[in-house]
Amino acid sequence: MFVKYKPKRNLLQTILHTEILQGMALTMRRLFSRPITRQYPDEEIPVALGFRGQHALVRDPETGGSTCVACMRCATVCPSRCIRIRFHDEESRRVVDSYDIEALRCVYCGYCEEVCPVNALVLTEIFEYAAYSRDPFHFTREDLLANWDRFVEERHIDRETYVNPFWRPRGMPEGRLPAAKRLPVPSDWTLEGQVVGAGYDQQ
Amino acid sequence: MHVLVLLLQILVLFAVVMLHVAYATYFERKIIGHMQVRMGPMRVGWHGLLQPIADGIKSFFKEDIIPEQADRPIFLAAPIICLVAMLTSLAVLPFAPGWVLADINIGLIFILAMSSLSSYGVILAGWASNSKYTFLGGLRSMAQVISYEIAMGLSLVGVMMLSGTLNLSKIVEAQGTSFGGMYIFPQIIAFFVFCVAMLAETNRVPFDLPEAETELVSGYATEYSGMRYAMFFMAEYIGMIVMSAIGTICFLGGWNGPFTVPGVPFFWFVLKIYLFLFVFIWIRATLPRYRYDQLMELGWKLLIPLALANIALTGIVKAIIG
């Protein structure tokens, strides 16, 4: 495509500065348009689907604790190495001793919630958790569970529909995903083909 | 007794102009904000109405930093020269019939002289700060003022020829009270040259090369802080007001309007000044900065020949008509 950078002007247009006047007319029109500014602390900012905010461990209503199975995938995939898990073996399963997240090192990439096979870890929509010292950003398992409780209370989240319907590894056929990841995906989230749906196997 | 009355008048004028300067910054930020689909100041007071006062208090109590290698006395004096020169030119402006502090016969020349003098403040600030950015800003200011002062002076010669006087009140009276009497019609070329030169004289966008925050940090004001920095900006805004007043007096018929507003003889004068100030701000929100060589080209190759041609044309027409 040929881009015409400088449109032809005749002498009259040059003398009368029509291009400058066009620009002035544009700014004048904008003067009476609605500003797009959001007055943040007064106005609430709409949070987009899949926003990655404060970390939380989903509280399992049956056990009252976390659903984490200490598979260590999140700690392995984490590019900033901010997740630290300790566990011990008990017969045929692992028991989590401690689950720490150093939030100040986190880059909020969301890989941890993508790989989690049981949807135990989420990055919630909460982003206002500034503090004056470093300590409040070191989340232990209890802190993370409390984060989830607070999130559910504040935003009235339904666990079934919120927890990871769309945080799933890309490009993987549905059949190969862990059972917890095969939840229905909101239709507006699949628009750009970011999430591989059920029909992927045929290709 | 007369001196006391004069002092009181000076005080009132000073206070009113300073208030205008403060709120000119507010309206500038507000209008530019809305033109850029933002909101401008919103926090201090209702819709940010107290913002200029907060700014004033802040700059007043800020630390006055003087660079170690600066030329101290000149560094301290430069903003004062700027501000005083601009404030002095307020004395000769006629706001309404008889409302003028010093009704001198060389009013127009006096204002041109004072506005050149205030650019000394800019140049000295650039020199005395002993920094590359301020120095470049000062040099640019010097070149710009030399180029555009000529164009501005020449553009006003046509007005002087038509009115036959340099006294600002008499220039207004010479234009009469009718709409067609305004000098903008016979002097449309001069008005165009004046408007461009006015922007350059006050260091406003698109001719803000001495300040040029995208290339020279803050130009001549880089090393200044606190109240001295604020003084440069007060000078700039008073300069805008003075230049608007000159444009109003010389081309738009001063205090005359379609009808007289009872009790407010300066109504139309102030309204026209506000119009000019709005155009200043509007242009700032629209146009990018000129390149240095383009600035010089525009000044010397276009504006000065245009102004000279206008003088010749005015003289010929005046000689023929009588």
- Specify the pLDDT at position A9: 75
- Specify the pLDDT at position A202: 41
> Is there a contact between B37 and A35 if contact means CB atoms under 8 Å apart?
yes
Q: Which residue of B has its CA nearest to A34?
A: B37
**Partner residue opposite A33 with nearest CB, options B37, B282, B285:** B37
- Specify the pLDDT at position B112: 87
A16 touches chain B (CB under 8 A): no
If one compares B132 and A178, the residue with the highest pLDDT of the two is: B132
Poorest-confidence range of A178-182, B30-34, B163-167?
Answer: A178-182
A26 touches chain B (CB under 8 A): yes
B320's tokens: 């023929």
- What's the mean pLDDT when you consider all of chain A? 80
- B200 with B303: CB under 8 angstroms? no
Integer CA distances (angstroms), B172 to A193, B160, B169, B188, in order: 71, 11, 5, 17
Please state the rounded mean pLDDT for residues A1-11.
Answer: 71
> Is there a contact between A35 and B38 if contact means CB atoms under 8 Å apart?
yes
Percent of chain A with pLDDT over 90: 7
Q: Which residue of B has its CA nearest to A33?
A: B37
The CATH label, of 3.90.1150.10, 3.30.70.3270, 3.40.50.300, 2.40.110.10, for the domain at A55-189 is 3.30.70.3270
**Is A132 a residue whose pLDDT tops 90?**
yes
**Cis geometry, peptide bond prior to residue B79 (ω within 30 degrees of 0):** no
> Is there a contact between A30 and B37 if contact means CB atoms under 8 Å apart?
yes
Backbone angles phi, psi at A88, to 5 degrees: -135, 155
Give the C-alpha separation, A100 to A98, whole Å.
Answer: 6
**Is B188 a residue whose pLDDT tops 70?**
yes
Q: What angle do CA B87, B122, B78 make, to 5 degrees?
A: 70
- Specify the pLDDT at position A79: 92
A20/chain B closest Cα distance in angstroms: 8
- For B22-76, the DSSP string reads HHHHHHHHHHHHHHTTS----SSSGGGTTHHHHHHHHHHHS-----TTS-HHHHH
Residue B48 zone, left/alpha/beta (φ > 0; ψ -120 to 50; rest):
left
A39/chain B closest Cα distance in angstroms: 9
Confidence class for position B253, pLDDT limits 50, 70, 90: confident
> Is there a contact between B282 and A36 if contact means CB atoms under 8 Å apart?
no
pTM equals 0.78
